[in-house]
Amino acid sequence: MPIHPPFTPVIEALPSTVPFVGPEAQERATGHKFRARIGANESSFGPSPRVIACMTETAPDMWMYCDPDNHDLKLAAAAHHGVKPQNIVVGEGIDGLLSLLTRMYVSPGEPVVTSLGAYPTFNFHVANVGGRLVSVPYENDRENLDGLLDAVRRENARLVYLSNPDNPMGSWWEADDVTRFIEALPETTMFILDEAYCELAPASALPAIDVTRPNVVRMRTFSKAYGLAGIRCGYAIGEETVIAAFEKIRNHYGVSRMAQIAGEAALEDQAWLAEVVRKVDAGRRRITAIAADNGLQALPSATNFVAVDCGRDGAFALKLMEALLARGVFIRKPMVAGLDRCIRISVGLDHELDVLAEEMPKALAAARAG
């Protein structure tokens, strides 16, 4: 056998797995397109017409590299939130920024706290730097703030991660609860507050932005309510010294010129955002009704998806998901015990939810028979 250059010990120890199997891979495997793509929490409503016009107008300029400073988008995001550009860093979606944060704060063997069953890609970033993941079970289908805080103190954790609203359950904490959590954290622990779904949540769930705290970084994205998942663009808000540290390691050409222009235009079109929020609310109510029509219980959601309690165990919920996939309905589900009794359905266009309504009774019959 040929001799290969050795991997680092961290990479050598990692399993060859991925957090998600994309719908494209599933379509290639089956040879069939999904009739309803309602599993990845994308916005089927897409970006605003103004954003599309800006992207179309600038398409001929794609021969140029992006602005490595992300200058205009940083200015737009700073103005949108009432902070300084020095409080904003732009990256390749929240995932790109999470990767940078783990590199900034976690050395091999050091503890990082998250919830058991929370957004799994964060765990991959922790593993990538050799961090030791400490997971706290959900409580009543919400991330357990007291449990997370206890784990942070017990482990002297370098990072703690919370998504609010939450993925995969769609649950949320009120701003006062999150603020109390922040105030109780040790100053030596960096808090990552992932607010990917915040535009779809009640205003009461969003604490006021305070960029004076050096141990809080808040994450925002254009992938959800703004309908731009395909361009991979997001940003973080934080204290100036923390944000400046991103500059040491970020990929300065990682955010494309198209993404920069689209993000800026998206922030300017808040009327479109309000329309999407209205449509998402209607979609959540439609999914809730479809679930109820089939004897299932939808959980309250502050996101663009709904977790539906299948009323039995995780094995049954998995059968139901597989039956829907086989009928051309792309959905996903939580996989951790306790949460795995649910399936997760993203809000889609009317015709996609029509397909869901049509296929759900058949899928349930197949799951019960199988």
Mean pLDDT value of segment 86-95: 98
- The pLDDT, as a whole number, for residue 19 is 77
**Domains annotated on the chain, with CATH:** 9-46+271-369 (3.90.1150.10), 49-269 (3.40.640.10)
- Compute the radius of gyration of the chain from its Cα atoms: 21
> Across all residues in the chain, what is the average pLDDT?
96
Helix ranges, 169-313 (H): 175-184, 240-246, 257-268, 270-293
Give the helix/strand (H/E) hosting 97: helix 93-105
pLDDT tens across 103-153, in order?
999 999 999 999 999 999 999 999 999 999 999 999 999 999 999 999 999
CB 70 within 8 A of CB 263: no
**Over 80: is that where the pLDDT of 1 sits?**
no
CB half-sphere exposure, 39, CA atoms < 13 A? 23
- The pLDDT, as a whole number, for residue 16 is 83
Q: What are phi and psi of 193, to 5 degrees?
A: -105, 105
What CA–CA distance (Å, rounded) separates 141 from 134? Answer: 19
Joined together, the tokens standing for residue 10 give: 């961290």
CA torsion sign, 339 to 116 to 101 to 87? Answer: positive
Taking CA atoms, 285 is separated from 63, 219, 301, 355, in Å, by 44, 27, 10, 16
CB 184 within 8 A of CB 153: no
Q: Tokens 């790109």 belong to which residue? A: 96
CB half-sphere exposure, 67, CA atoms < 13 A? 11
Q: Give, in degrees to the nearest 5, the angle at Cα 210 between 204 and 215.
A: 110
Three-class DSSP labels, 60-78: HHHHCCCCCCCHHHHHHHH
**Over 90: is that where the pLDDT of 41 sits?**
yes
- The pLDDT, as a whole number, for residue 272 is 98
Mean pLDDT value of segment 355-366: 98
Q: Give, in degrees to the nearest 5, the angle at Cα 218 between 213 and 222.
A: 155
Amino acid at 234: G
- The pLDDT, as a whole number, for residue 195 is 98
What CA–CA distance (Å, rounded) separates 31 from 143? Answer: 38
CB 122 within 8 A of CB 100: no
Taking CA atoms, 136 is separated from 188, 229, 283, 315, in Å, by 20, 29, 31, 23
- The pLDDT, as a whole number, for residue 289 is 98
Label the pairing between strands 234-238 and 190-194.
unpaired
